[in-house]
């Protein structure tokens, strides 16, 4: 199945495939290392010129989006089933983001599906294998064409982006006086929490839990809600911490808990961020052109957009 899906995805790139530059990473779930090696071998055989592959394969969905945009890549494979559980009997998924770092449009996914109905072969380089344990670059020649695999740090580019968006000095000052608690739920966000929250902002080590990515997410369900992040809720109920955060498996969703266990709905938190946009350095130059939310979420953002005179975009949700 993996080979067929990857071949159909590569073929859907059409004329962009040969000579393309792609990113590859995932949330650390079961089967991810094997899937990455399959993708590397197939990209080599299909004429891709260069891959940026995450060290140990670990890279969050927002970080892959960042890398695609920063280096003007053709797109990227994301190995994740989002907030669904992982393990030998649990879930696995493959997503492909396009040149703008976002999900591919329906025309592209339709092309993948159509090819899946007629595929009769796939291309691969059987003996090719890449060491993902450390940063380095490997160069190959496949059918007379150069093929490069660059194993990159999982966090570097994303951390640099965050520093350009937020005031790290102000956040560091806040963290030095307030107790916070961050739970990565043994998903992809562990390395990001360690680097940004602990190292860059200086939070003490006991501010972070669940920061080792595990193939089965430690036997848990990496969905940051009041049910599956119950341990965070219990810790916040003590009143010791002023803010608690949990992330989902691939790092593109979170849950915020206030002091004494006050739950902040994600659709409310994005509205609060938008209404206070002028406190965020990134928006001080270009401002905000519009805001967006998915269809089934709360309408707090609509109220902010209406009050600010911004365009509001309601987008569909779900797997294509």
- What is the rounded CA–CA span in Å between residue 197 and residue 243? 13
Does the annotation mark 65 as catalytic? no
Question: Exposed (0-12), middle (13-18) or buried (19+): which is 167, by Cβ within 10 Å?
Answer: middle
Pairing state of beta strands 145-152 and 136-142? Answer: antiparallel
DSSP three-state, residue 299: coil
CB 217 within 8 A of CB 224: no
- What is the rounded CA–CA span in Å between residue 29 and residue 43? 22
- What is the rounded CA–CA span in Å between residue 282 and residue 167? 9
- What is the rounded CA–CA span in Å between residue 284 and residue 164? 11
Question: Exposed (0-12), middle (13-18) or buried (19+): which is 317, by Cβ within 10 Å?
Answer: exposed
Of 20, 65, 82, 207, which is the active-site residue?
82
Residue ranges of alpha helices (H) inside the chain are: 2-12, 32-45, 61-70, 106-116, 156-165, 168-177, 190-192, 230-237, 266-275, 281-286, 300-308
Residue 155, token pair as written in the block: 């966090």
CA-closest candidate to residue 57, choices 73, 77, 76, 33: 33
- What is the rounded CA–CA span in Å between residue 226 and residue 239? 17
DSSP three-state, residue 164: helix
CB 211 within 8 A of CB 239: no
- Which residues are catalytic, by number? 82
């Amino acid at each position: 199945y993996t080979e067929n899906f990857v071949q159909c995805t590569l073929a859907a790139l059409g004329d962009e495939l040969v000579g393309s530059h792609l990113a590859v990473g995932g949330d650390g779930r079961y089967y991810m290392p094997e899937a990455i090696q399959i993708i590397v071998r197939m990209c080599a055989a299909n004429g891709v010129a260069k891959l940026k592959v995450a060290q140990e394969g670990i890279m969050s969905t927002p970080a892959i989006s960042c890398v695609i945009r920063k280096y003007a890549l053709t797109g990227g494979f994301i190995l994740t089933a989002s907030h669904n559980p992982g393990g030998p009997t649990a879930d696995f998924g493959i997503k492909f983001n396009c040149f703008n770092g976002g999900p591919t449009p329906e025309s592209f996914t339709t092309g993948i599906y159509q090819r899946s109905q007629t595929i009769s072969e796939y291309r691969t380089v059987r003996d090719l294998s890449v060491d993902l344990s450390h940063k380095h670059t490997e160069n190959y020649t496949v059918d007379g064409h150069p093929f490069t695999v660059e194993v990159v740090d999982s966090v570097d580019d994303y951390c640099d982006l965050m520093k350009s968006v937020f005031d790290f000095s102000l956040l560091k000052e806040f963290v030095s006086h307030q107790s916070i608690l961050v739970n990565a739920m043994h998903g992809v966000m562990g390395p990001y929490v360690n680097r940004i929250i602990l190292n860059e902002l200086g939070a003490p080590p006991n501010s972070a839990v669940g920061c080792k990515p595990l193939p089965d997410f430690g036997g848990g369900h990496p969905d940051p809600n009041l049910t599956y992040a119950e341990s965070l809720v219990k810790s916040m109920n003590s009143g010791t911490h002023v803010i608690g955060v949990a992330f989902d498996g691939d790092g593109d969703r979170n849950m915020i808990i206030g002091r004494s266990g006050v739950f902040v709905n994600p659709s409310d938190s994005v509205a609060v961020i938008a209404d206070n946009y002028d406190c965020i350095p990134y928006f001080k130059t270009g401002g905000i052109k519009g805001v967006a939310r998915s269809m089934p979420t709360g309408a707090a953002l609509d109220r902010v957009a209406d009050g600010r005179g911004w365009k509001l975009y309601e987008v569909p949700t779900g797997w294509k």
